[in-house]
């Protein structure tokens, strides 16, 4: 569970326990001081703590030196300011490694108190600026992606519906694995279907319903993730999203090398959600889908599959069917039949979750369909209210 603090949080890493204790006494009035005697212990603390402003690491440590450790910090907590601290004997080696962790400051032992405090204050200011910029960028990017998906909803409702379901699955898994800050995963889930924007809606329908594809159609379907990469590979701040999408087609051993990093964990969660959705829409029973997923545990990992199992258990499989005019459908209900206009064009696919936005869109583009009776599924608990 994450731990919050009102004081700026600083993590010190050094294999000298006495030095750490003296730093804690010196700085605890102004900072929430966290201590670790090794890079491994510090990375574990970093995963448990929220909003670490500054990480200060000694250079010479057993098993993992400071530069290597701060490189890992850069990957896991990119907004934290990173300071490398070392004795005179380690200066030449440490300087050569500064770029590896994009280190903010380089200090030598023994470091005067005023110099250390000045570096910490500057690091806290840097963290605040980086965090604010990151929040703005995240909100802007996600809003832009949502706008793109609105276009996709009109031109390719099958792909849009699938993107929404996948996003819900990965969000549930991320919450269970306490990865709530993985905004890149939310973006990747939505963009996993954006490649269909350049394809005909008929291709998305065929893939969605598991219909046979010609060799040319199969090649186009296989290229969908690559199309998404090409569309966004030069957009700033989307590099992690592109890496997650690229990893979807990696072999099991290559995916395993990513470990539990944000990219590795995100790619596995997205792989599970995509696989489940594809099989579910083709009518495969939930129990059979889960069996198939467990058979590929080497790819998905026990941790991710466990989170996904728990997610499905929280959404009861038993649902009851009702028939009502579409305008009377409530958000959360799911379609058990397609919605097409008078010309036979698919507007909404089977399995699509009703939302206020969907009903508003149909009112604009095909108001007649709102009067049609449709089959919907409603969770049993909803009917009992």
- pLDDT tens-digit series, residues 8-38: 999 999 999 998 999 999 999 999 999 999 9
Check residue 223 and report its DSSP letter.
Answer: T
More confident residue, 151 or 126: 126
Q: pLDDT tier at 98 (50, 70, 90 boundaries)?
A: low
Note the pLDDT of residue 25: 92
More confident residue, 43 or 149: 43
β-partners of residue 108 are 86
Out of 197-201, 331-335, 364-368, 369-373, least confident range = 197-201
Largest Cα–Cα separation, the chain: 80
242 pLDDT above the threshold of 50: yes
E strands, the chain, in order? 9-13, 32-36, 52-58, 81-86, 105-108, 319-325, 334-335, 339-340, 346-348, 373-379
Q: pLDDT tier at 93 (50, 70, 90 boundaries)?
A: low
Exposure pattern of 321-356 as b/e (b: 16+ CB <10 Å)? ebeeebeebeeebbbeebbeeeeeebbbbbbbebee
Share of the chain above pLDDT 70, in %: 87
- Average pLDDT of the residues of the chain: 82
Note the pLDDT of residue 92: 57
How many angstroms separate the CA atoms of 8 and 30, rounded?
8
- Classify 56 as helix, strand or coil: strand
Which residues neighbour 354 within 8 Å (Cβ) at sequence distance 6 or greater? 329, 330, 331, 332, 333, 334, 335, 376
For 14, phi and psi rounded to 5 degrees?
-160, 145
The reply to whether CATH 3.40.50.2300 applies to domain 9-131 is: yes
How many angstroms separate the CA atoms of 239 and 71, rounded?
17
Q: Where are the domains of the chain?
A: 9-131, 156-315, 318-385
Which residues neighbour 270 within 8 Å (Cβ) at sequence distance 6 or greater? 166, 170, 185, 188, 189, 192, 244, 248
381 pLDDT above the threshold of 50: no
Helix axes 157-176, 262-281, angle to 10 degrees: 130
- Classify 181 as helix, strand or coil: coil
Note the pLDDT of residue 143: 74
| Tens digits of residue pLDDT in 280-328 | 877 788 899 999 999 999 999 999 999 999 888 876 555 678 999 999 9
**Token pair 């959600």: residue:** 273
| Tens digits of residue pLDDT in 70-88 | 888 887 888 899 998 887 5
Calculate mean pLDDT across residues 231-241.
73
How many angstroms separate the CA atoms of 319 and 309, rounded?
18
| Tens digits of residue pLDDT in 345-361 | 888 877 777 888 788 88
CATH match for 156-315 among 1.10.3210.10, 3.40.190.170, 3.40.50.740, 1.10.287.110? 1.10.3210.10
383 pLDDT above the threshold of 60: no
């Amino acid at each position: 569970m994450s731990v919050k603090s009102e004081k700026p949080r600083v993590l010190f890493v050094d294999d000298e326990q006495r030095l750490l204790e003296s730093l804690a006494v010196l700085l605890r009035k102004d900072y929430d001081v966290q201590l670790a005697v090794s890079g491994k212990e510090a990375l574990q603390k970093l995963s448990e703590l929220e909003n670490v402003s500054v990480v200060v690491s000694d250079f010479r440590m057993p098993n993992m030196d400071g530069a290597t450790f701060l490189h890992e910090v850069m990957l896991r907590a990119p907004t934290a300011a990173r300071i490398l601290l070392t004795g005179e004997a380690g200066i030449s080696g440490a300087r050569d490694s500064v770029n590896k962790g994009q280190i903010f400051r380089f200090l030598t032992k023994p470091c005067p108190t005023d110099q250390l405090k000045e570096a910490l204050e500057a690091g806290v200011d840097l963290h605040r600026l980086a965090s604010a910029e990151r929040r703005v960028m995240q909100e802007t990017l996600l809003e832009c992606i949502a706008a793109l998906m609105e276009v996709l909803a009109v031109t390719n409702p099958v792909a849009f519906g699938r993107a929404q379901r996948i996003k819900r699955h990965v969000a549930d898994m991320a919450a269970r694995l306490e990865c709530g800050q993985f905004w890149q995963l939310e973006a990747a889930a939505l963009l996993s279907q954006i490649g269909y924007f350049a394809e005909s809606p008929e291709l998305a329908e065929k893939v969605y319903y598991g219909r046979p594809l010609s060799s040319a159609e199969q090649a186009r379907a296989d290229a969908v993730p690559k199309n998404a990469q090409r569309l966004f590979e030069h957009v700033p701040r989307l590099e992690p999203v592109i890496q997650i999408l690229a990893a979807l087609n990696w072999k099991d051993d290559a995916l395993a090398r990513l470990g539990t990093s944000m990219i590795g964990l995100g790619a596995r969660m997205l792989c599970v959600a995509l696989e489940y959705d594809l099989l579910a829409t083709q009518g495969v029973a939930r129990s059979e889908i889960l069996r198939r997923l467990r058979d590929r545990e080497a790819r998905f990992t026990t941790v991710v599959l466990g989170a996904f199992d728990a997610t499905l258990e929280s959404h009861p499989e038993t649902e009851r069917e009702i028939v009502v005019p579409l305008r009377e459908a409530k958000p959360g209900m799911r379609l058990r039949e397609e919605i097409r206009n008078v010309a036979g064009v698919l507007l909404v696919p089977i399995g699509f979750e009703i939302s206020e936005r969907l009903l508003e869109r149909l009112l604009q583009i095909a108001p007649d369909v709102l009067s049609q009776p449709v089959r919907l599924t409603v969770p049993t608990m909803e009917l009992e209210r």
